A and B are shown apart, each in its own frame.
Chain A
């Protein structure tokens, strides 16, 4: 079982405490970390022992694929894996767009959560088979536009998410 999530979360807590020490009114924190050929960038609002208010996660593999056909094949496999394994966020994922020309895949939670005023969904974008980006969005009906919003995740959920996304790029 992967322990990447646990170690990243530990680093996040350290980073948060360190950056908070530098500036008490800091609005966002960043973790940039490289481990086993993967570059992690996590932007978050706050993190405590039990949970995190997350903005986004970006993970990139240093080694990139060359062949377009190989990349698109990889994107399909990764999209399938996400749909099967990232099932712990209360919203399942669906592959919406697989852009073979630009070598990107876009998955969103399906169905999106909706209340009277807005719709909410997670989005995972897979880029060229060697990068993955996770973000939550909100569509406010009145304003007719999307906005990036934060996700509130327990520490355990966050760790599972990091493990699942890292596994995509490991394979």
Chain B
């Protein structure tokens, strides 16, 4: 019986996915292990995978030697010398890089963290029209004339009417031979979604904290891109002032200003009001900070902005508080005390890289 190689390949993919799932926490905490390959692929190093291979048996090679010489005589005829090298003391590394699509990675993430699929908000579905060529017609615009079908019709006509000369084949279409492509428009409901990331880049947020944010956003992006096609992403940084930046700047910028969190929430509010009407968009907002806001007065401003302008409009507002070299501020406690009744607000404390795994579950585990 012949077996299709697809069966083996699929079985191997299952093994790989199982291995990744088993080690997912490690991959989440060590983001550098997951490399991007182009737009849709990631490569992941996997240890301890035995690749199937042919092994040759001893058939025809066994048995006693019959040549000259005695047992123990070197084959080369010369005495062997002791080697001078030392034994290695490091374990061997057998890492195999496997490639996965981001969707496959998201599936693994969803399975392992038991993330519920997101149910998009009711009104946000936008109907977009998609055109597809579905048939042929005898009328239509010249730009859609189907040349092959037109010539085939002309050939048929000439043969049937006896006009076709096999000695000197010539096909000349007339108006009745012309054929045109026709299309059908179908309404495609789409769920539009935007992620607005905000990050505190004040002097107390150092590279370690930003690294945690980078890892966290990678997994959030992966999950939400899996849930929504056509996901937009916007980035806001803030110290005492906020500004919108591109992704690269978001993760690399260094500032040493103070921390006024309301500046970011204000810009986020403006962005939503101007470009993302909540009846058309699924809006996801995430803010990362060490929670060391400059003043209690600004905490109150933040609460006001969240209550009045942001929380009612978004699917989810995730606040992740990372721990800086000096610890962690009181902002997360303030939000917990003042806004706990809002279902769209999710708070997560992220003291170190190990906590990212649980933090992702905090943020995405509600299926919002």
A contact set with B: CB distance below 8 Å: 95-102, 104, 106, 108, 110-112, 119, 121, 137, 139, 141, 144-146
Minimum distance in angstroms from B325 CB to a CB of chain A: 6
Give the distance in Å from the alpha carbon of A104 to the alpha carbon of B293 in the complex.
Answer: 13
* Interface SS of A by simple majority: strand
Given contact pairs A97-B258, A137-B326, A145-B333, enumerate 7 new A-B contacts (beta carbons under 8 Å): A98-B258, A99-B240, A99-B258, A106-B203, A121-B326, A145-B330, A146-B330
Q: Contacts A96-B204, A144-B349, A145-B333 given: A101-B328 contact, CB under 8 Å?
A: no
Q: Which residue of B lies closest to A138 (CB)?
A: B327
> Please, which residues of chain B bring their CB within 8 A of the CB of A100?
240, 257
Q: Which residue of B lies closest to A103 (CB)?
A: B258
**15 sampled A-B residue pairs with Cβ under 8 A:** A96-B203, A97-B239, A97-B257, A99-B257, A101-B258, A101-B260, A102-B240, A104-B258, A106-B258, A111-B325, A139-B327, A144-B327, A145-B327, A145-B333, A146-B328
B294 within 8 A of A: yes
Give the distance in Å from the alpha carbon of A106 to the alpha carbon of B349 in the complex.
Answer: 24
Query: Which B131-190 residues have C-beta < 8 A from chain A?
Result: none
B191 within 8 A of A: no
**A95, A104, A106, A137 interface centre (most CB from chain B within 10 Å):** A106
B256 within 8 A of A: yes
> Please, which residues of chain B bring their CB within 8 A of the CB of A112?
325-326
> Please, which residues of chain B bring their CB within 8 A of the CB of A96?
203-204, 256
Give the distance in Å from the alpha carbon of A161 to the alpha carbon of B329 in the complex.
Answer: 27
Q: Contacts A95-B203, A96-B203 given: A102-B258 contact, CB under 8 Å?
A: yes
> Please, which residues of chain B bring their CB within 8 A of the CB of A101?
240-241, 257-258, 260
Q: Contacts A95-B256, A97-B202, A144-B349 given: A102-B294 contact, CB under 8 Å?
A: yes
Query: Which B309-368 residues have C-beta < 8 A from chain A?
Result: 325-330, 332-333, 349, 351
Q: Which residue of B lies closest to A100 (CB)?
A: B257
Give the distance in Å from the alpha carbon of A110 to the alpha carbon of B259 in the complex.
Answer: 19
Are B257's CB and A146's CB within 8 A?
no
Are A98's CB and B327's CB within 8 A?
no
